[in-house]
Amino acid sequence: MMSGKALFFRAKTRAEMSQSRRAGKRSAMQTAHDRFKLVRIFFVLGIAALLVFLTGLIITLGPLEISVADAYSALLARFLPDHFQSEALTSRVVWNIRFPRILGGMMAGFGLGICGCVMQAVLKNPLASPFTLGITAGAQFGISMAAVIGFSVLGGPYFIIGNAFLCALLCSFFIIGLAAIKGATSENLVLAGIAVNYFFSAISQLLKYFASDEQLRLMTNWGMGDLAAFSWANSQLLLAVFVICVPLLMSKCWDLNIMTAGDDTAKSIGVNAENTRLFIMATSSLLVAVIVCFMGIIAFVGLVAPHMARMVIGGDHRFLIPASGVLGALVLMSADAVGMNLMAPTIIPTGIMTSIVGVPFFMYLMMKGKRKEFWT
């Protein structure tokens, strides 16, 4: 119990402290907090700069010699022809061969990183990834159906990818619908996802069992994830989905921060936990489905990019979402560059290379990072 006098003194000190703060003086803790805020901003800006740098660097890799400077001027010459010049051959190689693949990797990595980040938050599960909701199983099922049975929803140029996209979406919306009826707790969503995953995987396996060698090859290639499938033609659809989904996910950053504290707490602070969870899962499913149908299964990035970001900048989604996206893009681009050039002219599929390069790197971060270090 505090005496009246002591209480008076404590109150006085507090009044003084807040007065001095208003006068511009900041305590040591506040300075530390200010520094941490700067670290977060500079980290996001730094990795974004690294992304730009790496783009130039990766363009130089390949049979035709292109310097880093030539790479940038070839890229910029398109937009600012008065200021930058580029040889026709260089420009063709950069714009038609090397840059599309890099851009594809960048977009896929960015999208998967962001989706992993928001899904981990709403499912309160560090193991959640863009594939938790049966998106992979759905897409795989769509591909198997097109390849083995010859059934496609859209036909034409979308014979296979159209199937992958629609089945992936169908699968995830089935799970989301199930959870919406039963109560969209994170446990319900994860459980339903696992169950549906097994079901569709089993059907895909069954179809595989009856498939010819040619059909099997098609299914396997897609399953390994390949950026070669990305082209300027399909970049527009991808871009359109990005432009819609990414701002939608970013707009929920405060709610995501709060959702990690549990549903009861979230509700008490004014966040409708169940609706937010459904909204985030539906939006990110759309983003993942469009990535998966063009580029196949690239599983690892979505799981670890958010963890890497959290290790450095903590759990505030205002910074964590962009950081996860950019880190995902960095990991995927670098891994693909290694896969393209390690055994050239043989190209190692992107999905395989991402895991081979990414897992040791992630293990290194896990071993090295002391928990304390996340905060300073």
For the residues of 23-65, what is the DSSP string, one character each? TT---HHHHHHHHHHHHHHHHHHHHHHHHHHHHHHHHT-SSS-
With CB under 8 A as the contact rule, which of the stretches 47-55, 222-230, 261-269, 279-287 interacts with other proteins?
261-269
Site for other proteins contains 40 (CB under 8 A):
no
Ramachandran region of residue 3, left (φ > 0), alpha (ψ -120 to 50) or beta? Answer: beta
Site for other proteins contains 30 (CB under 8 A):
yes
Quote the CA–CA distance of 229 and 203 in Å, as a whole number.
25
Among 292, 310, 350, 358, binds other proteins (CB under 8 A): 310
Site for other proteins contains 258 (CB under 8 A):
yes
- Beta carbon of residue 115, minimum distance to other proteins (angstroms, whole number): 16
Residue 268 burial (CB count, 10 A): 11
Residue at 191: amino acid letter: L
Site for other proteins contains 370 (CB under 8 A):
no
Among 121, 122, 170, 246, binds other proteins (CB under 8 A): 121
Residue at 363: amino acid letter: M
Nearer to other proteins, 55 or 188 (CB): 188
Nearer to other proteins, 245 or 271 (CB): 271
Nearer to other proteins, 87 or 316 (CB): 316
**Backbone φ, ψ for residue 185 (5° rounding):** -80, 160
Nearer to other proteins, 27 or 85 (CB): 27
Distances from the Cα of 193 to the Cαs of 71, 115, 207, in angstroms? 44, 16, 21
Quote the CA–CA distance of 58 and 69 in Å, as a whole number.
12
Site for other proteins contains 369 (CB under 8 A):
no
Per-residue DSSP letter, 231 = -
Among 6, 8, 12, 18, binds other proteins (CB under 8 A): 18
Residue at 325: amino acid letter: G
Residues forming contacts to other proteins in the complex (CB under 8 A) are 1-2, 14, 17-18, 21, 27, 29-30, 32-33, 36, 120-121, 124-126, 251, 253-255, 257-258, 260-262, 264-265, 267-272, 310, 314-316, 318, 371-372, 374-376
